[in-house]
Amino acid sequence: MSEPTVVAQTQVKRGFLWRVSFIAGLGGVLYGYDIAIIAAALIFVRESFQLSTRMQEWVVSIVSIGSMLGAVAGGSIADRIGRRATLLWGSALFILGSVIALLAPDVYTLLVARALLGLAIGFTSVTAPVFVSELSPPQSRGRLIGLYQFALTAGIALADISGYWLAGHHAWRTMFGLGALPAALFFLLLLTLPESPRWLYGQNRIAEAEKVLRSYTDEAGAALLLEDINNAVRTKTERRWSALWSPSVRKFLLIAVGFTVLQPLTGINAILSYGPQIFALAGISSDKSAIFATFLVAATNMLATTIALVLVDRLGRKPLLYCGIGGMALSLGVLSYAFHTQAMGPSLGKIATVCLVAYIAFYAFSMGPIAWILVSEVFPLQVRGRGVAAATLGFGASNSVVLFTFLRLSQAAGNSVIFAIYGASCIAVLLFVRFVVPETKGRELESISAKPETITS
């Protein structure tokens, strides 16, 4: 059940909020670029360093391991030093990791660089959605947070097109090094943003919080918002991780961590990270053609995310999830059958491309953006940083398992079995959405966590 919100009655400076979302979204561009560039680069890194299957999986999955560590550290740091400062540290790590990867003399140095990029991803993926959610009015919060996911998809597409352009030169070092450019822009633009007013108020920096609020709403709105925030922060920000397991927070932890753990099990990042190898197994023999097919998938991902940006605050979170995840399951089922029969011959590559494009489209307007919208919405302010960190940690752990086993499972059981498993995971996610995930459309952040008895309405 939706409740009336204070922000809807005030004048909000949309330009400011869109600027905040755009700059925070650059963290999503970097996230997408650094997880996806390996899809094109791995082909040439494997040749340069003569990598075994296990070492290839390490090069891909070390980013997820780093992101888990970054999520744990980033959640604590975001609650202690602020959302903006944490994003600045994340941008610095993106720059450092990209430069080290560019200069890596051996695979072990490359692993260190990729781990640093993972740390940066952990920092920013924990903090950026929270930062935006704490500045956004409820009637447009989903769309504004969804921009982070759109930016992530843009980063993936940028990585794939960069990989396609540079593939002819086998320039995998340049592929990695290009990530330093948007990272530097991210750092510079962050310097122009204010801190989250909700975090400032929680630190008893009330005058600063009022100044930020007045920068994007009117005097009456700022006063009402301050009163609303005050009601939510009467207790101090909780520094203990054990607070996430308290009776008042436990349900929100289940929603956020459960959803983010299930998300990688649908195969999304395996498909994005190993796209060229999947297309090669489907009969697309040219490395450059396989990379281009992966770019088509990434471009679809970016374009379909705009559907979520338009509809998530109109239709709500759950209707989009039902439609999108159901379509993902259907696409994976057809793809699994196509690999199982092997009767299509040369047509298998085209069928695989169509199925993967459809799968990505369904994912992009549903589970992709909505997972992180929900994660940044459901936790009380006192534990929000650690709550999002816990969800990111769960995502990283689940994603690491998927990425670290994909190649060997593909060799042992075949792509048909893998895609059937991913399709079954989609069914499990649908059940989770039906019985556990709340509808948060149009609700003020404080009202979501203040009344857990109505969370699934």
* pTM metric for this prediction: 0.73
- pLDDT tens string, the chain, 457 residues long: the values are 333 344 444 456 777 777 888 888 899 899 999 988 998 899 899 999 999 999 999 999 999 899 888 888 887 888 889 999 999 999 999 999 999 999 999 999 999 999 999 999 989 988 887 788 777 766 666 777 777 778 888 898 899 889 889 988 889 999 999 999 999 999 999 999 888 888 888 888 888 888 888 877 777 767 777 777 776 666 555 567 788 888 888 888 999 999 999 999 999 888 878 888 787 777 676 777 878 888 888 888 888 888 888 888 888 889 999 999 999 999 999 989 888 886 555 677 778 888 988 998 999 899 988 887 888 788 887 787 788 878 888 888 898 899 888 888 888 888 889 999 999 999 999 999 999 988 878 776 656 665 544 444 4
Please name each of the domains of the chain with its CATH number: 12-193+235-454 (1.20.1250.20)
Question: Which string of b and e fits 390-408 if b means at least 16 CB within 10 Å?
Answer: bbbbbbbbbbbebbbebbe
Cα 287 from chain centroid (whole Å)? 27
Which pLDDT does position 456 carry in this prediction?
43
Which pLDDT does position 115 carry in this prediction?
96
Helix (H) or strand (E) holding 384: helix 384-413
Distance of alpha carbon 410 from alpha carbon 185, whole angstroms: 39
Which pLDDT does position 232 carry in this prediction?
63
Mark out the alpha helices in 82-179 (DSSP H runs): 83-103, 107-133, 138-167, 172-177
Helix axes 83-103, 14-49, angle to 10 degrees: 30
User: Which residue carries 């190649």 as its tokens?
Assistant: 407
Distance of alpha carbon 228 from alpha carbon 232, whole angstroms: 7
> What is the DSSP code string of 288-349?
HHHHHHHHHHHHHHHHHHHHHHHHTTTT-HHHHHHHHHHHHHHHHHHHHHHHHH--SGGGHH
Q: Which residues contact 275 (CB under 8 A, 6 or more apart)?
A: 39, 160, 290, 291, 293, 294, 297, 356
